Amino acid sequence: MKWALLVLVVLCHVGCSPSAAIARNATDMSARAQEDIAAWDRVEKIHPDLAGEAKAGRDRAERTVHGASDTLQLLTGVEDSTPWWASLLGYLSVAVIVVGIVFLLAQTGIGTAIRVAVGWIPRRKESIAALAVDTIDTDKPETNRELISALRQDPEFDVAYKRASARRKAERNVAI
């Protein structure tokens, strides 16, 4: 869980554009400085005896506005660059997600359902199905042995077949 949180935090920071953050902060500073200028103007109107402090505060706020403006103007010449490892991390995360989706589809059987719905059935399965149809047809010379031989080409079926035949032999030996 800690690793997932760490990866999430790193990805969030990698995805942030530094120039966009600078522009956002400069805009916020300028807006706050404009508010300060308006506040110092109100202070000077309400308390004329604080005119010196109000002028000094207004000057600082105006310098902040000009500095933020200069920052925004200079920022147009700045270009963000992404480190090589951040790009690699992005590609790896996409690859892991794709592999995870494929694994999930394969393990749940949804992948098989999608293949059948699309009409993509492997040639080997189609040829075994045709052999099964020929085995049932009395006009064809194919036998059950040929069908079982074709089915045993599948490694999973072959293991299941061997287990079933071993069980059958054990049952026969117990019955004797």
The CA–CA distances, whole Å, from 21 to 11, 26, 72 equal 16, 9, 11
pTM > 0.85: no
pLDDT of residue 148: 86
SS3 16: coil
pLDDT digits (tens, 9 = 90+) for 91-126: 999 999 999 999 999 899 888 888 888 888 888 888
Place of tokens 């000009």: 66
pLDDT of residue 41 exceeding 80, the answer is: yes
Q: Which two tokens stand for residue 56?
A: 């000094």
pLDDT digits (tens, 9 = 90+) for 63-88: 999 999 999 898 888 887 878 888 89
